[in-house]
Amino acid sequence: MADDERSPLESEIRRLIAAAGQMPVAEYMRLCLTDPQYGYYVTRDPLGAGGDFITAPEVSQMFGELIGVWMAAVWRQMGAPANVRIVELGPGRGTMMADALRAARVVKDFHDAVVLHLIEVSPRLQELQRQRLQAFGLQIAWHAALADVPGGPSIILANEFIDTLPVHQAVKRNDGWHQRVVGIGVGDKLTFGVGRDPWRQFEATLPPAVRQAPEDAIFEWRPDSIGLELGQRARTGGAALIIDYGHSKSGLGDTLQAVADHAFADPLAAPGQADLTAHVDFEALALSAESIGARCHGPLPLRDLLFNLGINERAARLKARATSEAAAEIELALARLTAPGKRGMGELFKALAIADRKLDPLPGFVALA
């Protein structure tokens, strides 16, 4: 490929590799998604039919509405504090929060207690969130990171956020585990490779279930920091609800994937132009949150959480006053959110709550009788 056909970020990544050597996968992912100038999320609105992918809140208003009811119930369990920080990580277009706040408005004391804190890297999406949410008349603050949100009673939400956090990868070779990296390969193309020297003590840090890995196996992980931060905030009278795709148990496998224009793409083909994600390891996330004193509920398949929170009843109520065309759409959205396998989000997506130990049981995580 000629220099001038490359994306500006690819040229930058090649410069960095030429200067400093092969680049760890996590660093590559970080640049692709959040480079301040060329990062995927910084330069566009990726959501919806005209974008690259669709998320649960964009599928149906029912999703956000159930989250709103969940928040209000958790706030009551927290003792109905007069001020509660509702924090959302990566709110996208603000759709989930708008649906949630609308549904929770009936609980007037709750609505009056809310201050919104939104963590968003994209100026473009921040603007969409502002337009979407200002009608609620709430105080809203935007931050670059969760660490910037002041302490105090909080309910934290994250839908399809953790999967965008950079993931590290290691590859098993006959002399041990090596870092997986991005370098320049045959035909002068970006290519995956392995770091030269094995990591001596790496195997001992792995979850027991993956220690006997065959050669060429790949193990992925994210730093503990996000689980620790969520656990730290939740354990003193708060809760976090994390919804994302991933696995309930730590395991082996390369899940780094690129999506552009609603189809899978090569993660190295057009840095900064495609969404890059990797599955969430819910076992690892829960362990880090619990290690700091929070209690985890789940992970549950998303369908179970939505059924427990009453999505069937909600759909029936909406359908009862809808035209037959709209009723068919509600039915389709319900199937998309709850169907198992490849047909829907119901099974691949999981929900994990991280909460103060005093908030037990938590709505949605205990099956209703």
Does residue number 121 form part of the binding site for ligand SAH (CB under 6 A)?
yes
Among residues 9, 23, 31, 47, the one that binds ligand SAH under rule CB under 6 A? 47
Closest approach of Cβ 143 to ligand SAH, in Å? Answer: 9
Among residues 52, 120, 220, 283, the one that binds ligand SAH under rule CB under 6 A? 120
DSSP 102-156: HHHTTSHHHHHHEEEEEE-S-HHHHHHHHHHHGGG---EEEESSGGGS--SSEEE
Among residues 41, 75, 219, 349, the one that binds ligand SAH under rule CB under 6 A? 41
Count CA within 13 A, CB hemisphere, residue 88: 28
Closest approach of Cβ 33 to ligand SAH, in Å? Answer: 6
Tokens at residue 75, please?
């706030």
User: What is the x/- site pattern for ligand SAH, positions 164-203, by CB under 6 A?
Assistant: x---------------------------------------
Q: How many residues does the chain have?
A: 369
With beta carbons less than 8 A apart as the criterion, state whether 29 and 256 touch. yes
What's the rounded Cα separation, in Å, for the pair 190 and 192? 7
Does residue number 232 form part of the binding site for ligand SAH (CB under 6 A)?
no
Torsion sign across C-alpha atoms 79, 81, 87, 88: positive
Closest approach of Cβ 206 to ligand SAH, in Å? Answer: 26
Radius of gyration of the chain (CA): 21
**Which 54-113 positions form the footprint of ligand SAH (CB under 6 A)?**
55, 57-58, 90-92, 96
Does residue number 229 form part of the binding site for ligand SAH (CB under 6 A)?
no
Which parts of this chain interact with ligand SAH (CB under 6 A)?
33-34, 41, 47, 55, 57-58, 90-92, 96, 119-122, 125, 159-161, 164
